[in-house]
Chains A and B, each alone.
Chain A
Amino acid sequence: MASNNEDPFQFREFDEAGILLEANKDAVTISIEDEDLMSKRQRNAGLTPDVDEEESLNTDDKSSLLSGQRKNVPFWTFEYYQQYFDIETYHVKERIIGSMLPWPRKNFIQVYLRKNPDLYGPFWICTTLVFAIAISGNISNFLLHFGKPNYKYTPEFRKVTIAATAIFSYAWLVPLALWGFLLWRSNKILNLVSYSFMEIVCVYGYSLSIYIPAVVLWILPYEWVTWCSIVMALCLSGSVLVMTFWPAVRDDHPKVIAAVLSSIVLLNILLAVGCKAYFFSSPQRDSPAPVTVKPTSST
């Protein structure tokens, strides 16, 4: 105690001071700042009991939990985008699997994103899907015509551009519209659940991941396989989307609920069926094609 009193710089080392204070409780050295510090530390400890493991990650979680949102960095800085890439491999795996397997009462945003939406997944899933559609469309076209006379194989590189336009505009414009709509509705009706723009983008991006294996299946020249995989993918991704946005519109007027959910599902169907129709030529449509071309060229 004597040593504690004679060194005025002792109070800078809070840990040691705390240990000393706990060691001999009858010491009269407790000042107001110390009490403040101790209570603060106890509060922190009560909130996050597992401080030791993964220090940085936990502090990040803690800060985001306490503030309820991310730190405000202007959008033109590098750090702003860095916070949307603050994920690890198992997060991405978990989110992709979560977007493929809808589970009742499991909201994708609340279970997997937890106020930490990323842009890595949506961006690379969209890019992969673009090339998967273009390449497998090309392969299926090749398989369909293989061995036929006067068929000349072409790489159809133009399809990449068209697929990129379609996929990226779906993955960005639909969330934008949905976000605007939900914002407008939340002004009229008090909703408990509100999603940020990035969360909606993230859900939409991850919901496209089921289409990557589906699109690869479309290579097979059997129509029933194609349609089965389309229906499967539609059910899975559509139900994930519907279950995610259900809490956000739950308290609204029934007509609005129906409109929102049906437009989400309809746009999803439109994307899948549109891609199938445009990038993959079906054998039924293929045989009358030369017949229909002839009259247009003669007139």
Chain B
Amino acid sequence: MASLEEASKPFAGLSDVSISEDIPVEGDISVPVGPSRRDDEFSTLDEPVKETILRDLRAVGKKFIHVLYPKRSSALLRDWDLWGPLLLCVTLALLLQGGAADSDDQGGPQFAEVFVIVWFGSIIITLNSKLLGGTLSFFQSLCVLGYCILPLTVAMAVCRIVLLSGTGKVSAAIRLVVVTSSFGWSTFASTAFLADSQPSNRKALVVYPVFLFYFVIGWMILTFTP
């Protein structure tokens, strides 16, 4: 018995707590994990819907700026989203609508064709870089490729404005310059994000499909005639 009592001595304090019957059991149940910063910043339950949407839009806008200045490369990779790519892709496809002879077989790309080229193209490029042993996750790469369409979408908008003034040689030259520069910009920006994930002896193999992808999109924009 004595040995038993001795053995239970370390838990003496605990048994005292459980025995006391007159005190009602109360207290805080708290998860002993450090407070996550995200919860402190915004609790999204009781905020207006406007703020929620604006916050997401602001995040998308921030990433647009990252694409325009591709040197600060971590943010686009850290928290990816597909809202921006969707927005850009739909805008591009809508702007490419109403092209030459829509009813004709020989016309420009349809809405669905643009959509398929952008999404399947970026999925294939992502698979290609994963197969080559890239370290980026699938959606990170998809996000980067989608966001880097931004210069080309801007070029499309510029082209439509230029085409309003006429379809002469001057406008064709302006469009050529705009599309070429935005194509270079897109390729450069996406390369800045994607190339680091590859071993150096395979960089060119990853960059080439990206180049081809933006080249084809640039070609679609350049050949657009209302």
Contact = CB atoms under 8 A, between A and B. Distances in A.
Interface of A: 78, 81-82, 84-85, 87-90, 92, 120, 124, 127-128, 131, 135, 138, 152-158
A154 B224 CA distance: 8
B209 A124 contact: yes
B208 A157 contact: no
Nearest to A159: B106
B220 to A, nearest CB: 7
Nearest to A157: B109
Contacts of B82: none
Contacts of A90: 201
B212 A89 contact: no
A51 B219 CA distance: 48
Contacts of B225: 153-155
B212 A157 contact: no
Interface in B97-131: 99-101, 104-109, 113, 128, 130-131
B216 interface: yes
Contact of B220 (A87, A88, A155): A155
B132 A155 contact: no
A299 B144 CA distance: 56
Contact of A124 (B105, B202, B212): B212
B205 A92 contact: yes
A140 to B, nearest CB: 14
A78 B138 CA distance: 13
A138 B224 CA distance: 13
Contacts of B100: 152-155
B183 to A, nearest CB: 13
Nearest to A158: B105
A128 B216 CA distance: 10
5 contacts: A81-B131, A87-B205, A153-B100, A155-B106, A155-B220
Given A131-B215, A131-B216, A158-B105, 6 more contacts: A120-B132, A127-B212, A154-B108, A155-B109, A157-B106, A157-B113
B110 to A, nearest CB: 8
A120 B108 contact: no
A238 B155 CA distance: 42
B107 A157 contact: yes
A124 B129 CA distance: 13
Interface string B191-226: 000000000011111001100100110011001110
Interface in B1-32: none
B133 interface: yes
B201 to A, nearest CB: 4
Contacts of B113: 157
A157 B108 contact: yes
The 5 closest A-B pairs by CB, nearest first: A155-B223, A85-B131, A88-B201, A155-B108, A89-B204
A229 B212 CA distance: 24
